[in-house]
Amino acid sequence: MWSRLTLFTGNSNTALAQKVCSQLQISPGKALIGRFSDGEIRVEIGENVRGIDTYVLQSTCPPVNENLMELLVVIDALKRASARRINAIIPYYGYGRQDQKDKPRVPIAAKVVADLLTVAGADRVITIDLHADQIQGFFHIPVEHLLGTTALIDAIKSELKGDEIVVAPDSGGTERSRFFAARLGLDLALMDYREENGHHPEIVGNVKGRKVIILDDIIDTGQTVLRTASAAREAKAGSVVVCVVHPVLSGISVEKIEQSAIEKILVTDTIALSDKVKACKKIEVVSIAPMLAEVIKRVHFEESISSIFRQY
C-alpha cells in the first residue's frame, strides 16, 4: 500500500519519526544526515525516490538554525533526486514567534523561513499549532495546520470531574483556550495584566476551589504559565494543571516548574525532550504520532484532513 511513500527524518526528533513509521507500518527512509569536518551539513539519500511521495519530519527546535538548515538541505536533496512530491512535516515551527513587525527595524523571521522552505523545494508543509494563524499566509504552497490540542483533549478528558475551568494565560491564546474549553464542555477564564491604579495581574473568572487547566501553545522559559499558576493559587484554586503543545523548556524552566504550585504539565512530543525534562515527575508526554500518521495517509490518498478534527 505504501510502495509510493517514504518518510525521512532529520536529527531533531528521530523518536517521533520512528513512532510515526510504526503507526504507518513502514521503515524510515534511508539517508545519511551528518556533518563534514568543518561543520557543514552532509546529506545523502540512500534509496531511489524518483516518482515517490516523500515526507521529511523535522522540528525546527533548538538548536534552531542547525535543524532548519538540515531540513532545507534534505528537501533540496530529494528535489534533485526527482521525488514526485516533498512534504515537510514540521511539528514545531521555529521562528514562529517572530510573525509580525511589532517595533521598528525588526524582521518578520517567520516569513523568511517560509520563503526558504518554498525555495528549497517543499511542495507542502504540515505543521502543528503555529504560534500565529497568519503564518499560513506567508507560504505560496499548501499548509496543513494541525491542532495539537486535540491530542491533549483526548488525554485529559478522562480525568474530568466537572469542577474544572480552562484559563487562557494571555490575550493571544484566548481563541485556542476557547476551542479547548468548548470541546471539553468547560468554562473559560482569562488572565488580566492591567497594572494601572494598583491593579495587579489576576484571573478574570471564578476559579475558587476549582481545578484550573492552563492551556498554551509553547512553554519556553515558563514565565507565562508560572505567572498564571501563581494567580490561580492567589484566587484560591483547588489545583493547577497545565496543557502545552510545544515543550521548548529552555534555561532553568524545569527547576521553576518543580518548585511551583503546578500539579502536572501535559505536553506533546513535537519536540524531543532532554534527559532533565524527562526526569521531571510533573511532566507527562502525549504523543502526536497517531495524528501525524493519519494525516500522512490522507495527504497521500488525497482525502480530507479537516474531517479528522470534526469529532472534537
pLDDT digits (tens, 9 = 90+) for 105-136: 999 999 999 999 999 999 999 999 999 899 99
- Specify the pLDDT at position 312: 43
- Specify the pLDDT at position 2: 59
- Specify the pLDDT at position 200: 74
- Specify the pLDDT at position 201: 78
- Specify the pLDDT at position 98: 95
Candidates 3.20.20.70, 3.40.50.620, 3.40.50.2020, 3.40.50.800; CATH matching 150-286:
3.40.50.2020
Strand order in the sheet with 164-168: 202-204, 187-192, 164-168, 211-219, 239-247, 264-268, 283-286
Q: What is the DSSP letter of 185?
A: T
Q: What is the DSSP letter of 254?
A: H
The region, left, alpha or beta by phi > 0 then psi within -120 to 50, assigned to residue 204 is beta
- Specify the pLDDT at position 101: 92
In this structure, whether the domain defined by 5-147+289-311 belongs to CATH 3.40.605.10 is answered with no
CA-to-CA distance for 188 and 167, rounded, in angstroms? Answer: 6
C-alpha cell at 218: 509553547
Instruction: Evaluate whether 123 touches 84 at the Cβ level (below 8 Å).
Output: no
Cell 524545569 locates to 254
User: Would you tell me how many other CB atoms lie within 10 Å of the CB of residue 308?
Assistant: 16
Q: List the alpha helices (DSSP H) in 211-272.
A: 223-234, 253-259
Q: How far is CA 283 from the centre of its chain?
A: 16
Domain ranges of the chain: 5-147+289-311, 150-286
| Fold equal for 5-147+289-311 and 150-286 | yes
Which residues of the chain fall below pLDDT 70?
Answer: 1-3, 195-199, 310-312
- Specify the pLDDT at position 199: 60
